[in-house]
Amino acid sequence: EHENELEQSTRDHIVRESMEVLRSNDRGGYTVPAEGLYPFQWNWDSAIVAAGWAVFDELRAWKELETLFSDQWKDGMVASINFHKFSKTYFPGPEIWGTPENPSKTSGISQPPVAALSARFMYEHTAHPVEAKQKIEDLFPKILAWHRWWYKARDPNNTGVVAILHPWESGMDNSPAWDESMTFPIDPTLPPYERQDLTHVNANMRPTKDTYDRYLTLLYRFKRENFYDPDKLYEISPFRVTDLCVNSILFRANRDLRWLALQLGKTDAVAEIEGWLDNGFEGFKKLWDEEAGLFKCQDQITGKLEDAAISAAFLPLFAGVATREQAARLVENLSTWLKHVKYSVPSLDPQDPRFEQLRYWRGPIWLIINWMISNGLRHYGYDELADRIRNDSIELTNKAGLREYFDPVTGDGAGGTKFSWTAAMCLAWLD
Ligand code: 2M8
């Protein structure tokens, strides 16, 4: 009894703190991921944060998505970063990206398409259905245009799965899944640059200089190539990978978009989205590594599956694209991983020699990924494992606070503090 009360008061405290983090990271219509470290509107952060706002301020939640789409490119792309207000605490900022459309107001690449998921979540949980339906009416064509962009710009050969052309597009920036595909030469003419991230967090928690040189090699190449013209980029990019994170989220987002289309009676769109789902189901088959019992990312230039087993290997469960047999193998693998760390889910197989418990997407736990994996496991009937991930997530935030990510061995918090998407997950998922 006493313990329950204690637990309840800790939960109340986390909820209050989470609301406080969103309010303090609110810059008027959009929420920054973390003060200083990430001073602009990031795409998938923002979509996840909208679900957090929805728990205590619906109008503000819709506003988050509206602001995100206010900078949508004419071709349908929604950029990874929207630079609404000047800040010199982040590199590379708008002066480096120098994108043509909305002059210098966005980056020139995209990020995992979470928006349809949040729009559905908000519509399903609304206390004001009439107003919410109007919001959905307005957002629907924009989200649809963005999904179309993914297929046109990033799957011109109609394989059913889309490419990322930069590790930043996956959201899992320095994942070992890109190691083999990030071996192209560094541009010898790269202008000198000064990283800002290292002024906010320890270097051992961030990507290395060599990795940043390659991020920038790609950026300058894309900028030179007719200013990020997506028709060209797909052909000329030395990095072209089928990423499990973007593709699983896109698949799930298509299911949610289809649901929204049905609410709005848009039958043409339903048929179009069903076409993407059918193709996607076929496309995912190539990403299954039968020997490993895991999904893998694929280098589209060499055709090879990437060898790294990363947390995104479990995201096809969230997409709902894995078969029952595949789900069983995935669960077997995940259970083995968890024998090697205290907390779930590390971003890399802890048995991999490249595993680093603190370095960003090469080991640490990210709450948003935990939510997706747990949700997927529940869908396939693996409730016990789903509960374990949820309980670990509660324990981590209780213990370490609303940090950017967490050490799977010690449970310590790492990276940025007062982090928006971690707060949003505490509100929309863990409470
Ligand atoms: C990280 O990415 C940015 C580049 O977009 C960076 O490190 O500079 C990633 O964790 C990404 O997934 C996330 O959206 C962003 C803001 O939280 O930070």
H-type alpha helices, 71-128: 94-97, 115-124
Q: How many helices (H) and strands (E) does the chain have?
A: 17, 9
Cβ atoms of residues 31 and 22 within 8 Å? yes
Q: Whose CA is nearest to atom 5 of ligand 1?
A: 168
CATH number of the domain bearing residue 345:
1.50.10.10
**387 assigned to active site:** no
DSSP at 403: -
Q: How far apart are CA 395 and CA 390, in angstroms?
A: 9
Give the atom of ligand 1 at the shortest distance from the alpha carbon of 111: 14
Element (H, E) at 405: strand 405-406
Does the pTM surpass 0.95? The reply is yes
Lowest-confidence range among 91-105, 270-284, 332-346, 385-399? 91-105
pLDDT of residue 1: 56
- pLDDT-derived band at 29, boundaries 50, 70, 90: very high
On the question of pLDDT at 104 being above 70, the answer is no
Structure tokens at 58: 């619906």
What's the structural domain count of the chain? Answer: 1
Question: Ligand 1 pocket check: which of 21, 42, 215, 219 to mutate, most ligand atoms within 8 Å of Cβ?
Answer: 42
Lowest-confidence range among 106-115, 198-207, 267-276, 373-382? 198-207
Closest CA to 288 of 303, 300, 298, 302: 298
pLDDT tens digits, one per residue of 385-398:
999 999 999 999 99
pLDDT of residue 295: 98
What does the mean pLDDT of the chain come to? 96
To the nearest whole percent, how much of the chain has pLDDT over 90? 93
Question: Ligand 1 pocket check: which of 168, 211, 347 to mutate, most ligand atoms within 8 Å of Cβ?
Answer: 168
Residue ranges lining ligand 1, Cβ < 6 Å: 33, 38, 42, 44-45, 80, 168, 171, 173
pLDDT of residue 229: 86
pLDDT tens digits, one per residue of 201-213:
999 989 999 999 9
- For residue 222, the enclosing domain spans 2-430
Element (H, E) at 289: strand 288-289
Structure tokens at 418: 């007062």
pLDDT tens digits, one per residue of 300-328:
999 999 999 999 999 999 999 999 999 99
pLDDT tens digits, one per residue of 58-98:
999 999 999 999 999 999 999 999 999 999 999 999 999 98
Cβ atoms of residues 401 and 413 within 8 Å? yes
Q: How far apart are CA 179 and CA 171, in angstroms?
A: 15
pLDDT of residue 103: 60
Structure tokens at 425: 């997950």
CA 320 to each of CA 230, 347, 373, 382: distance values in angstroms, whole numbers, following the listed order:
29, 20, 11, 13
pLDDT of residue 6: 66
**404 assigned to active site:** yes
Cβ atoms of residues 24 and 92 within 8 Å? no
Catalytic residue, chosen from 26, 71, 173, 407, is 173
Cβ atoms of residues 266 and 140 within 8 Å? yes
Q: What is the CA radius of gyration of the chain?
A: 20
Closest CA to 415 of 207, 195, 114: 207
pLDDT of residue 209: 96
Closest CA to 280 of 294, 295, 268, 290: 295
pLDDT of residue 425: 98
- Cis peptide leading into residue 185 (ω within 30°): no
